[in-house]
Structure 1
């Protein structure tokens, strides 16, 4: 862990330039708007280590799978969100010498991500080899208001010389993904044109026929006056540029503006892309940089109105939670039901940018409580739309019925090719089922069950029905050969979490069938007929529920992570020399698999999901047993531990785990942020505050709150939207204040004291 970023309530700030931190900063300072995103690459040339990244949501490529030994059932490709045309590029040459921050002497370097208003700004001074000094200020954003628009402002001021600036403004589509399996470039050229101060590059993918058009206009001002310049046009394959020569006068600023319109044929007819891109650009240019930036600030103010969390007295904690919320809002807006949430968002290429079970397990709660109900519903509809592909995935693995949702996907088809995950990490099916329960429990929208939910639940249940293994000698059902959420144990038998979430899915499916039968017999019969669901099959599910085997240690009275877990040498992480950590960067896989160490919550994941089924003593025994052996080398681990620690009253552990999840990328805990930020785990940070320190739960159509405040904080507050009401919950060291900001009353329980909070009403309760 290396801390180098300045702590600030509303900004991420880097002071001083260290090339060793640059790739981490490129991830942390990324910007996005749900439609597109951009890593914090420099506009000017940088020849040091860098991951150039510009990404368009939903545009992907089926990169050919690369494995050492092919196994039946392997996907033939790994879907990857594509690195697309670099629209921010500027080549800056001063009297023949190129500005390159890897080669040039740099001072007074400050990089700031302003999260309150949604822009990235960078200032520095540079001294060239011949002693010329200049000051640069660069500001850019992608619009949260006009989703296809990006804009940048690059200001250069010569400090001790007169001379000539030769600047090349370019669009570079001749790029590739750093994670391309065979070093292949995924884009083919379609068209390039340059006219006046505009240029455009249109590309298409070599497979799947995605088309992407980026059109840019460049403007140059001197001391606030627009220069009427004609640039020298240069074209190449997948590349366009305009070169301008501008006189420099000591102390006077030259400002370069670039406005970009980025559109794809996901949203428009392919033959209309260039026309649409130009029209979008016309609007952006007519507004100008300052108006676009003002609209950006207002757009982000609206985002923060519903989702902000305020922490007083702990700047590190405040910065951490706002950074996580900011990245979530940059990554997914919910406006497009075809999209989902990739583990790296728009910040990098690791994991291919695809959809994992992270969305259902960790992200859904954030959108349930901070956005319109339809946003969370769209996440569920996304999975329903992929149900047929999930059935195909099951058939590919040899199952005759049921659906197996993919571990990694872009279109519903499995595209992950590590056998211990692709074939064995089947607990992901349970997360899809749990998301349906979570959504209905939170919103009360039971119409979803009859419209979409029961079909998904029934097909997942059919998968579990076939996947279990009946053992006649013991009269039990087991699930063999799996990998649980803890990926530091592979190909194990009877992972407690997998067995429990499978059985629970069957239970919930039967519960939903019973509900539909009682509430709408016609709709119930429609589904029975469509699914060809017989009583015999439902009875089989009931038998599995009754006879599911769960590994338990009777001596400790804890659920065992899997069969034979106690055969391992049980060592707490605290006894490991820190030189071994992180294990995945220092130990062989063989050594990891033989150890007791846990990558992420496994048994505890089940105790979090199904919290209502277990008493506090059961949670405590299992937490006390497993947490000391957990290395938290999955970004998804600390949040679950923080929430359970809050429930158990382990205040110090809860705070420790909160800081770890909140500042995972800011402090680069796992030494891997250069690959991109851990976007989906950021929702876990929100959960740590709202469900952990806020103690929020939903039971029997009532909102429960059980807040406590860490000693390091003076106060904290958060907002939740629940059943049409928006509540502001404020907690300080003495009391809890809950303000209903809407006219909708809400059933509420605080410290198990039930009340109805009327519209516009306020209630105060002693802490």
Structure 2
């Protein structure tokens, strides 16, 4: 665990430059706008350890899977979001000496991510090998107003010399992914040219043939005046630059403004993309840095208006929740149903930037409550549009009759995960997608999604589960063999409780959904039945038989649900007994040792209890929590939030707070020693859940918003906003009373501390705890 980020309510601050922490900081200080993103790499040359990263949404490459064997149904490639053209480059040379923090003496260094403005600022003082000292202040952002554009303001002040500074403002497309097989590069050059005052570079991905056209404009000012310097143009393979030479004087600053755009053929026709890139660049240059920054601030203010969580008297907790919310908004805006949320967002390459079940299980509730309804709906439509691919994925594994298996990892709907025990066995992802449909409908109160999109998806998923189980003569029950649950530290096991539980829940919910559509829109049900060739009587009869006769492993003596068959055969050692030098297990132990241990990577049984808590009494929840929590190492970023929510429900606020800090500061403090390759974006939604569903006790019950808040002892109060069925409600709790404020024209019936209440439109309400 690292502890070098300064605590501040609205800023992420790094003081002093430690090269050993640089890759971690490159992740933490990343910026994005839902359409493009950039790691916090330096603008100037840096020869030290770094992970270069600039990413354009929707652009990927099918990198061939590397395995020593092959099985039927195994994915042929691993899709990855590509490191794209580096647009931030400003290589600075002073009197023949290159500015490079790796080879120079850095006396002052501050890096700040401002979450109110969405900006990254860096200030440093450096002495070069030739004795020249200069101060630099750089600020940049990816505009969420002009979401194909980014801008940099880079100021240099000589401290002890007059001389010449050479500025090379570049577009560098000669890049590769750190994890590319055989160091392969994925881009071919289409165009590299200068057009008036603009430089342009267009590249094409190999195999997938995406085009990305990048263009830059660079201007240099002194004392507020544009020097109107002529640039010399240079280019080499997949690289263009505008080069300037500036006379500078001691204590007189020069300021470089660099405007850039990245346009993708996902959104522009190839024959028009370069013209559009120059046109877009002209637009942002005409606005200028000051106006773009003002628009950026206003746009972020609007996001914070409905999405902020305010915590009193705990700066570390406050900073952490805002950091998580900030990164979620940077990653996904919901404006394009073709896009989804990669586990690392735009902050790194790990997991390929692809879509996992994390989106449905963790992210959807955040967007339901904090964004317009269409944002969450687009996440579901993304899966609906991939339904045919999910059916094809299932067919490759031998399933028939329209059974759908959604991929564990995907960009275009095809499975592209390259570990067999997850690709073939971690099938609980199907359940998360079905649960997201249920969650969306119970939250919005609108069943029309079922008829329009959802029921087709549910039928495909239910058909998969019906074929995936088999009848056990020995148990006289249906069983689920050869699976991997969310706890990936146990593979190829039988009767995983969570997988079996969510499978039968899917069958039940699909039967209910069929009846709902029948009642609301019978003709639409007829269309779906015809389209899916669904046998209303026989298939539902079979599903009901599975629901009634499913086997779930339990231990009656302990009163717990067993993770899977034979879990208690493992040596039962608690995490508290693990030597510190053995952690994290996934970096210190062999895989064989991990698989034979009882240690749990992430919530598994508890994941099911979290989803379906209304089915269990408090003591059942407590017994399972008290058994599994001490055996969980939380080496998945998705684990602590579920533990925090359940602990808060049980009234164990000390453990709830501990898990909240662990999930919220996972990346800021690098808990698992893995932040350097990118942030854990999808688990950041779990941080929001820890506050709102954990401490706030927010649920949707009996078709109502329900609240049962509790207060950690470290906090004086907390507040958050919930958008629920056209009402926008501010909830504040100080340990003594709940204060509710309705900021909409929609009155709301809700339940607080188990009692029904009515909140008038534009009204307020105070309820003692």
- TM-score normalised per structure 1: 0.99
Alpha-carbon separation, structure 2, partners of 1:146 and 1:168: 25
1:34 maps onto 2:34 in alignment: yes
User: Equivalent residue for 1:502?
Assistant: 503
User: Equivalent residue for 2:474?
Assistant: 473
Q: Is the 8 A contact 1:196 1:230 kept in 2?
A: no
Q: Is the 8 A contact 2:350 2:677 kept in 1?
A: yes
User: Equivalent residue for 1:600?
Assistant: 602
How far did residue 519 of structure 1 move? 2.6
Consecutive unaligned residues in structure 2, runs of 5 or more: none
User: Equivalent residue for 2:461?
Assistant: 460
1:358 maps onto 2:336 in alignment: no
Alpha-carbon separation, structure 1, partners of 2:458 and 2:667: 35
User: Equivalent residue for 1:434?
Assistant: 435
Q: Is the 8 A contact 2:746 2:760 kept in 1?
A: yes
User: Equivalent residue for 1:740?
Assistant: 742
The 5-angstrom pairing of residues 228-307 of structure 1 reads 228-307=228-307
Alpha-carbon separation, structure 1, partners of 2:521 and 2:196: 65
Q: Is the 8 A contact 2:63 2:77 kept in 1?
A: yes
Aligned length: 767
1:375 maps onto 2:372 in alignment: no
How far did residue 613 of structure 1 move? 1.1
* Residue among 522, 529, 539 paired with 1:537: 539
The 5-angstrom pairing of residues 529-678 of structure 1 reads 529-534=530-535, 535-678=537-680
Alpha-carbon separation, structure 1, partners of 2:612 and 2:464: 21
User: Equivalent residue for 1:394?
Assistant: 394
Q: Is the 8 A contact 2:609 2:616 kept in 1?
A: yes
- TM-score normalised per structure 2: 0.99
Q: Is the 8 A contact 1:457 1:509 kept in 2?
A: yes
User: Equivalent residue for 1:339?
Assistant: 339
User: Equivalent residue for 2:139?
Assistant: 139
User: Equivalent residue for 1:691?
Assistant: 693
Alpha-carbon separation, structure 2, partners of 1:666 and 1:525: 52
Q: Is the 8 A contact 2:198 2:278 kept in 1?
A: no
Q: Is the 8 A contact 1:176 1:186 kept in 2?
A: yes
Q: Is the 8 A contact 2:86 2:171 kept in 1?
A: yes
1:760 maps onto 2:739 in alignment: no
1:335-370 Cα distance to aligned partner (Å, 9 max, x none): 000000000000000000000000000000000000
1:383-424 Cα distance to aligned partner (Å, 9 max, x none): 000000000100111112300000000000000010000000
How far did residue 532 of structure 1 move? 1.9
* Residue among 725, 728, 731 paired with 1:729: 731
How far did residue 68 of structure 1 move? 2.5
How far did residue 523 of structure 1 move? 2.1
Q: Is the 8 A contact 2:637 2:663 kept in 1?
A: yes
Consecutive unaligned residues in structure 1, runs of 5 or more: none
Q: Is the 8 A contact 2:645 2:693 kept in 1?
A: yes
User: Equivalent residue for 1:485?
Assistant: 486
SS of the counterpart of 1:58? coil
Alpha-carbon separation, structure 1, partners of 2:34 and 2:531: 36
Alpha-carbon separation, structure 2, partners of 1:523 and 1:87: 50
Q: Is the 8 A contact 2:53 2:348 kept in 1?
A: yes
How far did residue 516 of structure 1 move? 1.9
Q: Structure 1 runs of 4+ off > 6 angstroms? A: none
Alpha-carbon separation, structure 2, partners of 1:177 and 1:576: 36
User: Equivalent residue for 2:215?
Assistant: 215
How far did residue 568 of structure 1 move? 0.5
SS of the counterpart of 1:241? strand
SS of the counterpart of 2:57? strand
User: Equivalent residue for 2:23?
Assistant: 23
Alpha-carbon separation, structure 2, partners of 1:230 and 1:373: 49
How far did residue 517 of structure 1 move? 2.1
Q: Is the 8 A contact 1:197 1:219 kept in 2?
A: no
The 5-angstrom pairing of residues 83-232 of structure 1 reads 83-232=83-232
What root-mean-square deviation, in Å, do the aligned CA atoms of Structure 1 and Structure 2 show?
Answer: 0.8
1:176-227 Cα distance to aligned partner (Å, 9 max, x none): 1111122111111000111343100000111121100000000001121111
1:64-109 Cα distance to aligned partner (Å, 9 max, x none): 1111222221100100001100000011111000010011000210
How far did residue 531 of structure 1 move? 2.0
Alpha-carbon separation, structure 1, partners of 2:519 and 2:718: 44
1:106-159 Cα distance to aligned partner (Å, 9 max, x none): 021000000011100000000011221100000000001111110001100001
Alpha-carbon separation, structure 1, partners of 2:203 and 2:36: 16
Q: Is the 8 A contact 1:196 1:231 kept in 2?
A: no
Q: Is the 8 A contact 2:387 2:457 kept in 1?
A: yes
Alpha-carbon separation, structure 2, partners of 1:51 and 1:473: 55
1:45 maps onto 2:76 in alignment: no
Alpha-carbon separation, structure 2, partners of 1:531 and 1:588: 46
1:217-261 Cα distance to aligned partner (Å, 9 max, x none): 000011211112111211111110122110110000011110011
User: Equivalent residue for 1:527?
Assistant: 528
User: Equivalent residue for 1:76?
Assistant: 76
SS of the counterpart of 1:270? coil
Alpha-carbon separation, structure 2, partners of 1:454 and 1:616: 33
Alpha-carbon separation, structure 1, partners of 2:602 and 2:495: 17
SS of the counterpart of 2:59? strand
1:458-492 Cα distance to aligned partner (Å, 9 max, x none): 11010011100111232200000000000000000
1:160-188 Cα distance to aligned partner (Å, 9 max, x none): 11111011111001111111122111111
SS of the counterpart of 1:606? helix
SS of the counterpart of 2:658? helix
Q: Is the 8 A contact 2:148 2:261 kept in 1?
A: yes
